[in-house]
Amino acid sequence: MEFLNKTAISTGAASGMGLLFSQCWAEAGGNVIMCDVNEKVLAEKVSEINEKNGGRAVGVICDVRDYAQVVTACDRAVAEFGSIDILCNFAGGTAVRMLGVDPSLEFPDIPIDVFDWGIDVNLKGQFYFAHAALKQMRLQNSGLIINLGSITGEEGDGRGMDYPTAKSGVMYGLTKSLAKYGSRYNVRCVCISPGPVLTRPAMANMKTLEGRAAEPQEIIDLILFVASDKGQFINGTSLLIDGGRNAMGRA
Ligand SMILES: NC(=O)c1ccc[n+]([C@@H]2O[C@H](COP(=O)([O-])OP(=O)(O)OC[C@H]3O[C@@H](n4cnc5c(N)ncnc54)[C@H](O)[C@@H]3O)[C@@H](O)[C@H]2O)c1
């Protein structure tokens, strides 16, 4: 019960790491506001958490691209639980995959609104949530913002260019800037930047020095360590957790 009565906001919480974080946080006694656009799945996952012993979960339908919805989600956290102790910005993914773009199209042939979507979800979504949550974190004089980067923010991608553009912006400019501002109010900001993670079987095809992709639990364990008493000196940095992929060089 390490996080007993602490409040988390988890975005992209209907699936993958956002969901697993929410489950682990509640198991550790914390309460969680779970944000996603997938209304049906979110409701199911929230109920599953609330059927167990542990912290409470509340689902909020929230598109991270919409600042008004982001503010509503943060207000809901304060109304329900009285604080925002940790914000975890999981919502994201490559637009060409998530929007099902024809794989034969090259970068200049892919409609620009695909890239708008990718930059909005992966960069502006994390920026918006930090902006809204910091109002409460400043008031309470404490907090932790966890951004999600990616090995692709180091490597680039010759086609789905929104994703590395957004992720490297989050990993460096946004994370360092939020840590600088946050230090006035005891708020830390840390970016967790995974290599391939098995939230989808296809991620097993990405090479690493370890010869495998990460289990989602390995990423969540790192986040929980950063949030724990032992992780308090970690701030303003992007932690790569990539099985050594970054050391392999670029194709
Ligand atoms: N899986 C990997 O290999 C990997 C590697 C590096 C980084 N990441 C990053 O980790 C994060 C989580 O990845 P995952 O694989 O667990 O994701 P996932 O695809 O399993 O889940 C993403 C969730 O985000 C939600 N979502 C999509 N658009 C949204 C929006 N506009 N507003 C709110 N919610 C929205 C989806 O409904 C979904 O539930 C992402 O930011 C991703 O870029 C993943």
Instruction: Give residue-wise pLDDT tens across range 129-148.
Output: 999 999 999 999 999 999 99
pTM (two decimals): 0.98
Q: CB of 121 within 8 A of CB of 93?
A: yes
Please identify which of the residues 163, 172, 181, 185 carries the catalytic annotation.
Answer: 163
- Within 10 A of 90 (CB to CB), how many other CB atoms are there? 30
Query: Which residue, among 167, 169, 163, 12, has the nearest Cα to 91 in the 3D structure?
Result: 12
pLDDT (0 to 100) of residue 23: 98
Secondary structure of residue 55 in the 3-state scheme? coil
User: Which residues, given as ranges, of the chain have pLDDT below 70?
Assistant: 250-251
Cα dihedral 224, 150, 33, 129 in deg (nearest 10):
120
Sign of CA dihedral 37, 38, 40, 43: negative
State how far the Cα of 158 lies from the Cα of 197, in Å rounded to an integer: 21
Identify the structural domains of the chain with CATH numbers, from first to last: 7-246 (3.40.50.720)
Instruction: Give residue-wise pLDDT tens across range 2-19.
Output: 899 999 999 999 999 999
Mutate to test the pocket of ligand 1, among 10, 123, 148 (most ligand atoms within 8 A of CB): 148
Using a 10 angstrom Cβ sphere, with 0-12 exposed, 13-18 middle and 19 or more buried, the burial of residue 44 is exposed
Q: CB of 147 within 8 A of CB of 174?
A: yes
pLDDT (0 to 100) of residue 1: 81
Mutate to test the pocket of ligand 1, among 10, 90, 154 (most ligand atoms within 8 A of CB): 90
- Within 10 A of 249 (CB to CB), how many other CB atoms are there? 7
185 carries an active-site annotation: no
Query: Which residue, among 79, 75, 72, 62, has the nearest Cα to 14 in the 3D structure?
Result: 62
Q: How does DSSP classify residue 212? A: S
pLDDT (0 to 100) of residue 202: 95
Amino acid 131 reads: H
